[in-house]
Structure 1
């Protein structure tokens, strides 16, 4: 399981939660937001769309705190007409 350090979870006293990012378990610091996750993964805010537990999350709502067991998906936004 890969840890995503948001903020730094390397210190043993920093509590972490396990989420499922694109189907893979990952640990993130307790209190981490979806916006922090997107940034920590190196994505531009507008370059990816997000969903948590099967529900689309708009960029303006990415302040949502991730909790134990959340299933997070990142995907390319679809545009066209």
Structure 2
């Protein structure tokens, strides 16, 4: 695990927090509301579906960064 007293820990934590807020804001894809969107990839994936997949992957990446660099196990 990473050192809990690392000087970069605060910067990494701020980055994760800011990115999480950004992802929550852009999660609402209001620009596609009420519009018919045709499938784009493989005949069944549309732009909104790819957009949501990208947001999901970015969120998973933030969880991975938190576990790798910020999480401190009790007793360490």
With a CA cutoff of 8 Å and minimum separation of 6, indicate the structure with the bigger relative contact order.
Answer: 2
> Greater Rg, structure 1 or structure 2?
2
Relative to its length, the structure with more helix (as a share) is 2
Could you say whether these structures have the same fold, taking a TM-score greater than 0.5 normalized by the shorter chain as the test? no
**TM-score, structure 1 length as denominator?**
0.22
Q: What TM-score does the superposition give when structure 2 sets the normalisation length? A: 0.23
